[in-house]
Amino acid sequence: MKISIIILNYNVKYFTEASLLSVLKAVQDDEVEVIVADNNSTDGSKAYFEGKYPEVKFLWFDKNHGFGKAYNKAVAQAKGEYLLFLNPDTLVSDDIIQVFKNFAGTHTDFGIVGGKMIDGTGNFLPESKRGVPTPIVAFSKLTKLYKLLNFNPFNAYYASHFDENETGKVPVLTGALMFMKKSVFEAVGGFDEQFFMYGEDIDLSYRILQAGYQNYYLPVAKIIHFKGESSRKDAGYYRNFLETTFQFYRKHFRSFPPLEFMMKQFFKLWLQLRLQKSEIVAKKVDYQQFYFIGKAENYSDLIFQFQTLQKINTPEEIKHKPALLIFDTDSLRFSEIINYMETYKNQGIYFRFYLPENNMLLGSDYRDALGQTELV
């Protein structure tokens, strides 16, 4: 079973490298090819990756094609029978390829398979499984009305009809993690390139359903998904979200201009009120202690930066909180790290990932905070 893993990079070379390192740890045989497609980054990505990772195929585009078109161009050069799309701000569990292989071997009706995403704090990301964003569903999501009216259609955006740890059928999966047959992808025409950045994954999911396939949420397929620039909740994000929703609605359903006009007028008022609130995108935590789980030699590399760093064997040994816990990705499997994060989330423990291959620390301390990379 040949699988092509495709990561799309745009001005996030450190995130992309971290994601790439986690993917390479998960690759167990030569039946997997890894492709990094670059949308004409201006952060020096091409020079940074030059000469690195000879086992990876790099595609350097001469312009920013957007999400869907860039992936379509990468798929055209992919040799795999199956495709695995990944965002650059993700770290994958080391068993994820085998998990998807096993699923594909026992299910013949699947279109897209997604997985369980957690953020940098260890908390479940509900966008791992979603419903079709009709205007009322999108309205409920934007206004957070779904938290008050926990029934269909108001709670349909996050496909809350089954638990985060249950395998289930879902209408929509996120482009941050998509596994599918290349033949199915090509049969439905790939990503619709009219969606430049948002909505292309929703559209693809829906078209695959229309083609007679079933999309699945598979919680044992786990990744860590950091918030990137595209997740910043500013005015541009909300406007793009709303416009993409109506773009999808106009394409697949009978358009009703009066409803669209009323919702847009409401949205303008709501957006003004929303942006008057200051949202937390970053906070400085006053750590009481720093801890490290990993190899002694890698611990020695970090002790100069964190002079009170203590080497421990498990998070149970943490006594002083709030604490920063650094995982050595050279000695811990990502599946172990994810399990630790889920077990010790929301307990005053904050997480970092040390990648000794490039002397990088990666992590975030709050759900709405952007992921941070730091070279040490």
Say which CATH number the domain at 177 has.
3.90.550.10
Q: Domain check: are 294 and 223 in the same one?
A: no
- Residue that is last in its domain, among 189, 210, 227: 227
Structure tokens at 357: 């291959």
Q: Is residue 213 part of a domain?
A: yes
Please name the residue that has the structure tokens 């350097």.
60
Q: Domain check: are 24 and 96 in the same one?
A: yes
Q: Is residue 284 part of a domain?
A: no
Counting the structural domains of the chain, the total is: 2
Q: Domain check: are 309 and 219 in the same one?
A: no
Q: Which residue has the higher pLDDT, 170 or 154?
A: 170
Q: Domain check: are 189 and 47 in the same one?
A: yes
pLDDT value of position 147: 67
- Residue that is last in its domain, among 202, 227, 252: 227
Q: Is residue 169 part of a domain?
A: yes
pTM of this structure: 0.87
Q: Domain check: are 213 and 80 in the same one?
A: yes
Structure tokens at 355: 């990648």
The arithmetic mean of pLDDT across residues 157-163, rounded, is 78
Q: Domain check: are 221 and 307 in the same one?
A: no
Q: Is residue 250 part of a domain?
A: no
pLDDT value of position 284: 77
- Residue that is last in its domain, among 227, 254, 272: 227
Q: Is residue 351 part of a domain?
A: yes
Q: Is residue 354 part of a domain?
A: yes
For 197, the domain range is: 3-129+164-227
By 3-state DSSP, what share of the chain in percent is helix, strand and coil, each rounded to 5? 35, 25, 40
Q: Is residue 144 part of a domain?
A: no
pLDDT value of position 254: 67
Q: Which residue has the higher pLDDT, 326 or 367?
A: 326
The arithmetic mean of pLDDT across residues 202-221, rounded, is 95
Q: Domain check: are 211 and 332 in the same one?
A: no
Query: pLDDT per residue over 117-156, tens digit each?
Result: 999 999 999 999 988 777 677 666 666 666 666 656 666 6
Q: Is residue 183 part of a domain?
A: yes
pLDDT band at 366 (very low <50, low <70, confident <90, very high): confident
Q: Domain check: are 106 and 213 in the same one?
A: yes
326 burial via Cβ count (<10 Å: 0-12, 13-18, 19+):
buried
pLDDT value of position 132: 75
Structure tokens at 63: 């312009």
Q: Domain check: are 325 and 217 in the same one?
A: no
Query: pLDDT per residue over 277-294, tens digit each?
Result: 545 445 678 999 999 999
DSSP, residue by residue, 191-255: S-TT--SSSHHHHHHHHHHHTT-EEEEEEEEEEEE---GGG--SHHHHHHHHHHHHHHHHHHS--
pLDDT value of position 37: 97
Contacts 24+ apart (CB under 8 A), 196-199: 196/66, 196/67, 196/68, 197/66, 197/67, 197/230, 197/240, 198/240, 198/241, 198/244, 199/244, 199/245, 199/247, 199/248
Q: Domain check: are 211 and 62 in the same one?
A: yes
One-letter amino acid at 61 equals F
Q: Considering only CA atoms, which of 78, 75, 10, 76 is closest in space to residue 39?
A: 10
Query: pLDDT per residue over 24-79, tens digit each?
Result: 999 988 899 999 999 999 999 999 999 999 999 999 999 999 889 999 999 999 99
pLDDT value of position 229: 46
Cα 341 from Cα 349, distance rounded (Å):
9
Q: Indicate the SS3 state at residue 262.
A: helix
Q: Domain check: are 205 and 299 in the same one?
A: no
Q: What is the CA radius of gyration of the chain?
A: 21
Structure tokens at 66: 């957007």
